[in-house]
A = this chain, B = another copy of it.
Amino acid sequence: MKPIKIGIAGLGNVGEEVAYQLIKGFRVQKNLFQIELVAVSAKSKNKKRKIDLNHFKFFENPIDMVSDNKIDVIVELIGGDEGVAKDLCFSALKNNKAVITANKALIAKYGKELAEIAEERNLFFSFEASVAGGIPILKLIREGLIVNEITKLTGILNGTANYILSEMEKEQKSFDIVLKEAQKKGFAEADPSFDVDGIDAAHKTIILSALAYGKMPNVNNLTIKGIRDITLNDISYCNQLGYKIKLLGNSLLHKNKNGKDELSCSVEPWLISKNLGLSNVAGVLNAVQIESSLAGPVMITGAGAGGEPTASAVLADIVDYANETKLFSFGRNSNDILNNYNTIPYTNKFRYYLRLNVVDKSGVLADVTSIFKDNGLSIESFIQKSNQEDKTAELVIITHEAEGFVLNDSLSKISILDGVITKPVCLSIYS
């Protein structure tokens, strides 16, 4: 058996754990394959780590790894959609090395191009760890559900955002306070915008969409809304009404009147009925729910991030490589992946949650309901909470099902009403 020689670029949480497991050895590695860590590259060689780097060739510049003919597989754990990580992955493949990466930003942007190079050269190229950490979701779609047509994919894909929303509810604290605490605990980055503004979830949604539908929207062509506008009051109202708020990466494939595929795709907070399994996915957990033609609905939940879960995914890719698994990175010929695929707004009817901050005086509610009436939008539930001190009130409305444009039209009229103080908050209700 020819030993397989691994080079790891990037020794953060994940890289260190992958290296540690390769050194320690795991069941299949010992019994079935010979997998050997031979080289590493990291920003700092001397940082304290649970592995001793002296046993491996150290590269100051990870790009130099690609010309080392003792390395079979480059494991890219640097991150970022440009710069070193991009250069490393492209040049590794062009130098006929297998590539395994956890880099969602890179795959969302250059995944098709990289897969094309890998396929031309018959190289292994995989990125299980790029979506939902410890959940083997790419393998599930790519192999387990391979004969299914997938029509819908919904995921809780960002552990930080999910943790913040869960903590807000559990601890009854505001977004800002929970975010600060999460940063202290290491559950949120110093610059949290990738996580709380939905960018990270968008990258993962794009990768899932490529695997599920062969269609890869551009990140600039998605509706991406984060969770910064969600107040503790929103969470309480929703709770009262039987819902949880979750940041979802959601995509939906449908045929239009002419039988042509149309893809709707977004990252935004939704209300989820407490009766649905997704509503119970709390804290840093991730979940993905799939609607498939034969297997039906499948949902999988697990750890979305962290050194060990993500290392589990990277190592599973390494074992697939060692097992000589023939892999289409996106579950199909990468030439068939439609890049920069255009997405359209959801054409389904949804129910909506609206929160309006208004002056607490007579007439405002009448104005609002009259706009609703004119637009044919009807109300299912209504909560009013007055604030005596500053003579304002919050109006919380759950609408009956309506099309998006009806809702948006009503909202734009409501926004400019005299008594409406701040921009209304509007969330769709998942169904």
Contacts and interface: CB of A to CB of B under 8 A. Distances in A.
B32 A147 contact: no
A295 B320 contact: no
B308 A296 contact: yes
Contact of A312 (B148, B309, B313, B325): B148
A298 interface: yes
B298 A135 contact: yes
Contact of A143 (B139, B146, B300): B139
Contacts of A149: 27
Given A134-B298, A143-B143, A299-B300, 16 more contacts: A28-B332, A31-B332, A133-B295, A134-B296, A139-B139, A143-B320, A277-B277, A280-B280, A294-B308, A295-B303, A296-B303, A296-B306, A297-B303, A300-B300, A323-B326, A325-B325
B136 A316 contact: no
A64 to B, nearest CB: 28
Contacts of A29: 147
Contact of A297 (B297, B302, B311, B319): B302
A396 B293 CA distance: 45
Across chains A and B, which 3 residue pairs bring their CB atoms closest together, nearest first?
A136-B144, A134-B295, A294-B312
Copies, count: 2
Interface of A: 17, 21, 26-29, 31-32, 128, 133-136, 139-140, 143-149, 275, 277, 280-281, 292-303, 306, 308-309, 311-313, 315-316, 319-320, 323-326, 328, 331-333, 336
A27 B332 contact: yes
Main secondary structure of the interface of A (DSSP, over half): mixed
Nearest to A298: B302
Contacts of A331: 28
A309 B326 contact: no
Contacts of A281: 277
A293 B309 CA distance: 9
B301 A146 contact: no
Contacts of A146: 28, 315-316, 319
A101 to B, nearest CB: 17
B277 A316 contact: no
Of A136, A293, A301, the most chain B CB neighbours within 10 A belong to A136
A85 to B, nearest CB: 23
Q: Which residue among A148, A292, A302 has the maximum number of chain B CB atoms within 10 Å of its CB?
A: A302
A236 to B, nearest CB: 20
A331 B294 CA distance: 26
A136 B319 CA distance: 19
A289 to B, nearest CB: 9
A50 to B, nearest CB: 14
A428 to B, nearest CB: 22
A123 to B, nearest CB: 16
A148 B302 CA distance: 14
A315 B134 contact: no
A302 B308 contact: no
A147 B139 CA distance: 15
Nearest to A331: B28
A114 to B, nearest CB: 19
A299 B302 contact: yes
A323 B17 CA distance: 31
A21 B312 contact: no
Contacts of A320: 143
A319 B328 CA distance: 13
Nearest to A324: B326
Residue in A144, A277, A297 whose Cβ sees the most chain B Cβ within 10 Å: A144
Contact of A31 (B28, B136, B140, B336): B336
A270 to B, nearest CB: 18
Contacts of A148: 312
A392 to B, nearest CB: 36
A147 B316 contact: yes
A267 to B, nearest CB: 23
A321 B135 CA distance: 24
